[in-house]
Amino acid sequence: METLKAEHISFGYNSKNMVLNDINFTMDNSMILGLFGDSGSGKSTFCKILTGFIDSYKGNVLLNNKSIENGFNPIQLIYQHPEKIMNPRWNMGDILKESWNPSEKILNEFGIKREWFNRYPSELSGGELQRFSILRALNPKTKFIIADEITTMLDAVTQVQIWDSLLKYAKKYNIGVLVVSHDDKLLNKITDRTILLDDLNKQ
């Protein structure tokens, strides 16, 4: 059992205006947990803090009660805009292999075609790019996935395809998933339990 814990997280872009105030949060890797918040409620900021994208916050992010070591971060972020976390001058094969080299079987499960490996990010559709960014995050060393509005920009059909592959994989390899969204209907459908960011955030 792996646990992800956030203790007394506070963060503000300036001192007057705190986005997050003393947040405490725990989840383990058997869970598909939902985190609901409206736009502007600070959920993206919270996701970035959990995954090390922002490091100037107060409080602690702990994995199994230890702080995160340098090197590969077992808590990986998947982002709303996959093109922003890909170097535009790299081809898709290099982008995926920056993390790991999945087997043909896994590529198939995620609906990724080998022929896309030679293309550049600007040559794939949003759904195709998001498949790559998800699979890249699912490195064998990954214990938790923080999925920040990952299907908001996609159509409903692609949304189902993406969640289906991600959640099946996560269950199989015991990866905990935090599903962050403003879409309560989606959260009810795919998560075991949903918490509200506003309840955690002591404003």
Partner 1 sequence: MNKLLEVDNLSIGFTQYFKGLKQRKLNVISDLTIDLYENEILAVLGSSGSGKSLLAHGILGILPPNAEVNGLMYYKNEELTDELKEKLRGNTISLIPQSVNYLNPLMKIKYQAIGYIEDESLKNEKLKKQEEIFERYNLDKTVGDMYPHQLSGGMARKVLISTALLNNPKIIIADEPTPGLDKKSVDETITDLIDLKDKGVSVILITHDIDTAIKTSDRIAILYLGYIIEVTETKNFKYNNENLLHPYTKALFNALPENGFKLTNGHQPSYLNIPKGCPYQDNCEYKTDKCLKKVPPLVKIGTSLVRCYYPIIN
Partner 2 sequence: MFKNKKNNKPWFLYHANLRVKTLFIIIVASLILISIFLSNFFINPNTALTTDFSNINQAPSFEHIFGTDWMGRDMFVRTILGLGISIGVGAFASVISTIIAIILGSLSSVNSVADEFVASVIDLFGSIPHILLIILISISCGGGFYGVILGVGLTHWTPLARVLRAEIKKIKTTEFIKLSEQLGKSKWWIIKKHIFPLVISQIIVGVILMFPHAIMHEASISFLGFGLSPHEPAIGIILAEAMGYLSTGAWWLAFYPGLSLLFIVLLFDLIGENVHKLLNPQTTNT
Q: Which residues bind partner 1 (CB under 8 A)?
A: 38-41, 111, 120, 122-128, 131, 152-161, 163-164, 182-183, 185-186, 188-190
Provide the minimum distance between the beta carbon of 121 and partner 1 in the complex, in angstroms, as a whole number.
10
Check if the beta carbon of residue 38 is closer than 8 Å to that of residue 45: no
Rule CB under 8 A: is residue 51 a binding residue for partner 2? yes
- The residue count for binding partner 2 (CB under 8 A) is 18
Asked whether 124 and 88 are in contact (CB, 8 A), the reply is no
Phi, psi of 50 (to 5 degrees): -60, -30
Cβ atoms of 147 and 177 closer than 8 Å: yes
Taking the C-alpha atoms of residue 113 and residue 121, their distance in angstroms, rounded to an integer, is: 14
**Nearest Cα to Cα of residue 147 among 162, 157, 128:** 162
Identify which of residues 24 and 87 has a Cβ nearer to partner 2 in the complex. 87
Stretch that binds partner 2, among 20-28, 36-44, 70-78, 154-162 (CB under 8 A): 70-78
Should residue 76 be labelled a site residue for partner 2 when binding is judged by CB under 8 A?
yes
- Could you tell me the smallest distance in angstroms from the CB atom of residue 11 to partner 1? 20
Shortest reach from residue 67's CB to partner 2, in Å:
15
Dump the DSSP string for 133-188. Answer: HHHHHT-TT--EEEEESTTTTS-HHHHHHHHHHHHHHHHHTT-EEEEEES-HHHHH
Q: How many Cα atoms occupy the beta-carbon half-sphere of 49 within 13 Å?
A: 28
Nearest C-alpha neighbor of 130 from the set 175, 160, 168: 160
80 contacts which partner out of partner 2, partner 1, none, CB within 5 to 8 A by kind? Answer: none
User: What x-and-dash track marks residues 8-47 binding partner 2 by CB under 8 A?
Assistant: ----------------------------------------
Q: In the complex, what is the shortest distance from the CB of residue 113 to partner 1, in angstroms, rounded to a whole number?
A: 9
- Smallest gap, in angstroms, from Cβ of residue 129 to partner 1? 9
Contact set with partner 2 (CB under 8 A) = 51-53, 70-73, 76-77, 79, 84-87, 89, 98-99, 139
